[in-house]
């Protein structure tokens, strides 16, 4: 397979660096990465880690997507997903129009079930089916909530907005994900559910995390923690509080604060001992397994690949654990294996991620960067890697 220097994250960094009037050394002097590494990334000789991309984007004052190339339109069109984004965007804009007088609705319980099914589809990474169904469900629940306001309906509407956010993130439409989170906040306020509001702050924090704004991300986590009633010892409240600690651990890892990472993982672990595997609390997948998964991710972010690999290999997710999370672990594991020189194992991990969650993996920037790194470092491209590279458009 040819490794011709077609457009990739490194070439986009170089292009935006030049637009900013900076040399490679000039940019390297402004970021906590070496000139040698930056040069290698621009040439495609090294993978662009998420933190490097976020740091460069913040320094050059561009969106992360300008460097990653998201959304990946060609692949989205091939998967018939590109045409589904506009209906979702339009559905999110219905929030303040009140009830649709021409709409006939099923019973409330069916609408609530439809919202829950959408969450399940996304967790199973059936993005095409979820994206196709989502706009109609949003429209119906919006009308139902206006006609007969109830906590249950407003919470269901907030859930559909959260699904819109998840789909937008997985497909690389981060601007749309921000709109969805704003709508989620609007619906959660009407549901009078502080846990929904806390989950929304957690997801906002991850938005800033992707953009490299770690201080703001940690502030949002703190704001979310303050929303969880301290006197509430229900499984739901404990799971949300624990998940906020997991979010903080990943942000702290990007900030290179190992002691803070350890503290948040320990606190999340204490909550997980009390909740067990609480996979159906606002669809957060919180529990001991997710604490372990975040331990892996945090050490990947800190570049401690041996620890991350050991932890990943010892994880045994429950059978009913979300495929989206299982596949994400495989992508993290592949990155570790690439960095530690075990390229054959990296290909196997990526192939497994593809098998478990094909649509999610195809649009995962980390998976694409790892595949690109494997292609560059492999003298002889194995057939499985060749197929993976072609599949993601490299």
Residue ranges of domains in the chain? 1-69, 76-192, 197-307, 322-394
Q: What are phi and psi of 315, to 5 degrees?
A: -75, 135
Under 8 Å between Cβ of 66 and 25? no
If phi > 0 it is left, if psi is from -120 to 50 it is alpha, else beta; for residue 73 that is alpha
Please tell me the pTM assigned to this model: 0.88
User: Is residue 15 a contact partner of residue 27, using CB atoms and an 8 Å limit?
Assistant: no
Q: Which two tokens stand for residue 325?
A: 């999370």
Mutual angle of helices 85-92 and 127-147, in 10-degree steps: 20
pLDDT at 382: 56
Question: Residue 16: which of 70, 51, 67, 72 has the closest Cα?
Answer: 67
Q: Which CATH architecture has domain 1-69?
A: Orthogonal Bundle (1.10)
pLDDT (0 to 100) of residue 308 = 93
Contact (CB, 8 A) for 342 and 307: no
Please say whether the beta carbons of 139 and 100 come within 8 A.
Answer: yes
Q: Beta partners for 278? A: 286
Please write the tens of the pLDDT for every residue from 95-116. Answer: 999 999 999 999 999 999 999 9
Q: Return the pLDDT at 195.
A: 93
How far, in Å, are 116, 347, 358, 373 from residue 337 at the CA level?
Answer: 36, 9, 20, 11
The C-alpha atoms of residue 25 and residue 123 are separated, in whole angstroms, by 43
pLDDT value of position 1: 34
Q: Which residues of the chain fall short of a pLDDT of 50?
A: 1-5
Distance in angstroms (rounded) separating the CA atoms of residues 240 and 49: 29
Q: Which two tokens stand for residue 203?
A: 């997801």
Residue-level pLDDT at 378: 72
Cβ-contact 162, 184 below 8 angstroms: yes
What angle is formed at CA 382 by the lines to CA 378 and CA 387, rounded to 5 degrees?
110
The contacts of residue 161 (CB under 8 Å, 6+ apart) are 92, 138, 180, 181, 183, 184, 187
Distance CA(112)–CA(353), nearest Å, equals: 31
Cis bond before residue 307 (omega within 30° of 0) = no
362 vs 170: CA distance, rounded Å: 9
The 8-class DSSP code of residue 7 comes to S
Strands (E), the chain: none
């Amino acid at each position: 397979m040819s490794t011709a220097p077609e457009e990739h994250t490194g070439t986009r960094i170089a292009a935006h660096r030049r637009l900013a009037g900076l040399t490679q050394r000039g940019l390297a002097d402004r970021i906590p990465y070496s000139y040698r590494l930056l040069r290698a990334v621009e040439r495609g000789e090294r993978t662009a880690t998420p933190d490097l991309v976020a740091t460069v984007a913040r320094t050059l004052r561009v969106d992360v997507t300008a460097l990653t190339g998201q959304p990946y339109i060609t692949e989205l069109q091939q998967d018939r997903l590109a045409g589904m984004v506009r209906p979702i965007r339009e559905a999110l804009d219905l929030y303040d129009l009140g009830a649709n007088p021409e709409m006939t609705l099923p019973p409330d319980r069916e609408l609530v079930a439809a919202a829950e099914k959408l969450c399940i589809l996304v967790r199973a990474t059936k993005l095409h089916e979820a994206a196709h169904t989502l706009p109609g469900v949003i429209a119906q629940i919006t009308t139902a909530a206006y006609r007969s306001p109830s906590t249950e309906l407003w919470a269901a509407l907030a859930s559909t907005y959260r699904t819109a956010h998840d789909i937008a993130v997985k497909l690389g439409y981060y601007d749309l994900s921000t709109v969805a989170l704003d709508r989620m906040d609007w619906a959660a306020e009407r549901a009078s559910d502080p846990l929904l509001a806390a989950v929304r702050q957690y997801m906002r924090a991850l938005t800033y995390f992707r953009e490299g704004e770690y201080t703001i991300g940690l502030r949002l986590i703190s704001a979310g923690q303050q929303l969880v009633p301290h006197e509430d010892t229900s499984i739901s409240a404990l799971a949300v509080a624990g998940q906020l600690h997991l979010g903080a651990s990943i942000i702290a890892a990007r900030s290179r604060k190992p002691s803070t990472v350890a503290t948040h993982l320990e606190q999340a672990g204490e909550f997980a001992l009390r909740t067990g595997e609480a996979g159906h609390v606002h669809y957060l997948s919180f529990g001991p397994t997710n604490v372990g998964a975040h331990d892996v991710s945090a050490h990947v972010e800190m570049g401690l690949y041996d620890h991350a690999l050991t932890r990943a290999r010892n994880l045994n997710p429950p059978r009913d654990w979300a495929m989206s999370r299982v596949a994400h672990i495989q992508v993290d594991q592949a990155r570790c294996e690439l960095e530690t020189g075990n390229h054959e194992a990296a290909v196997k991990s990526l192939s497994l991620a593809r098998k478990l969650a094909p649509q999610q993996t195809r649009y995962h920037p980390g998976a694409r960067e790892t595949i690109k790194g494997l292609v560059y470092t492999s003298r002889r491209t194995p057939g499985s890697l060749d197929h993976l590279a072609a599949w993601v458009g490299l």
